[in-house]
Structure 1
Amino acid sequence: MSRLEMPAREAMNARQREVYDATVSGPRGKAPAPLAAWLASPELASRAQHLGELVRYGTSLPASLSELAILVTARHWNAHYEWYAHKNEALKAGLNPGLIDAIAAGVAPGFGDAAERVIYRFTVQMHEQKRVDDALYAEAVELLGTTAVVELVGIVGYYTLVAMTLNVFDIGLPPGVAPDLPVLPPPKP
């Protein structure tokens, strides 16, 4: 059971309603799961949902590459709701189901596409090493461009916030939905 539930709209204060209404009237068309927790701090909720809208719908990266980075982030954090929400988006965006299955299993996928490979490696390295080495950074900039690399860091940062929010506040899957991610042990140092 979630530690914080989405309040009923009529129980929200004026600022919470304003943020909620702005969120559901935007491109998502609904309230994302972490909003249930974020609304306890309406200003955080407002700023986070605006950042989420930008990194989800307004970057130069194609949806398939954004969704790849999001899935790698969900896998890193064992964030079941994030995985659930973005696996279908990744499939709709054209990401190979075999790549998705490998990421879920905690196995490095074999990539035929250079952009997918660099997004995967960059995202994994950010999570595991807390930085990106010079060679991978140069490869990413050459392949994707500086703007896309900056946006990639923003995507991963935002979805790390989402994963942490979902996990800390125990925001579970919708009723009747089973976890699709096996829980993996943390990587060894």
Structure 2
Amino acid sequence: MTRLEMPAEAAMSPEQLAVCAETVAGRRGKVPAPMIAWLRHPELARRGQKLGELLRYETTLEPHLTELAILVCGRHWTSHHEWTAHKAMGLKAGLDPDVIAAIAARSVPELSDDRQRAVYDVSSTLLSTGRVPDPIYARGTTVLGEQGMVELVGVLGYYCLVSLTLNTFELGLPGSIAPELQDPEFKGASEA
């Protein structure tokens, strides 16, 4: 059960209505789930969705690499809604289903190329330790370039915000429960 619902259009402020209209008119074509919470602060919703639009559609990272990073992030936070949405997008972008299954199982996936390995290694290491050791950083910048590394860190930071928003407010639940992400040691507030 979600903790926050999308405000009814009649109950929205002019600022909330404007942000929703801008978002629907943009590349996404719809209001993304985290905006349900962010609309409580319309400028946060505006800036957050704009940043997400930039990081999803306007980087040097190919779509399958962006989706790989998002899946690593979604798995790190066990964000069911994020996982469900981006698993489908990752498959559409050409990610191997076995790679996705390995990430879901918290296993190191077999990756087909250096760019995928760099994205996975930087993402998983940064999320698990909060740092990127010199060898992984050097390989990442060699393969992705400095701009690609900055974009990758931006994607991870943004999707941490998204995952934490979705998890805190239980957005997209129960419809987006991803059985492959079940963590037996954690029971959400709605499951307790």
- Whether TM-score is above 0.5 comes out as yes
Query: What is the TM-score of this pair, normalised by structure 1?
Result: 0.94
**1:1-189 equivalent positions in 2, closer than 5 A:** 1-173=1-173, 175=175, 177-184=176-183
Residues 93-113 of structure 1 show CA distances to partners (whole Å, capped at 9, x for unaligned) of 101110001101111111131
Runs (5+) with no aligned partner, structure 2: 187-192
Determine helix, strand or coil for the equivalent of 1:107: coil
2:190 alignment counterpart: none
DSSP 3-state at the match of 2:71: helix
Equivalent AA in structure 2 for residue 87 of structure 1: K
Q: Identity of paired residues, percent?
A: 50
The amino acid of 1:181's aligned partner reads E
Q: Deviations over 1:45-70 (max 9, x none)?
A: 11100000000111110000000000
Cα shift at 1:9: 1.8
Deviation digits for residues 85-138 of structure 1, max 9, x if unmatched? 101110111011100011011111111311111101100111111010111111
User: Taking structure 2 as the reference length, what is the TM-score of the superposition?
Assistant: 0.92
Distance in 2 of aligned mates of 1:107 and 1:67: 17
* SS of residue paired to 1:112: coil
Specify the code of the residue in structure 2 equivalent to 1:182. L
User: How many aligned positions are there?
Assistant: 185
SS in 1 for 2:181: coil
Shift of residue 21 of structure 1? 0.7
Q: Is the 8 A contact 2:115 2:144 kept in 1?
A: yes
SS of the equivalent of 1:181 reads helix
User: Which stretches in structure 1 are left out of the alignment for 5+ residues?
Assistant: none
CA RMSD for the aligned pairs? 1.4
Q: 1:179 Cα shift?
A: 2.0
Distance (Å, rounded) in 2 between the aligned partners of 1:103 and 1:19:
34
| Residue identity matched to 1:70 | I
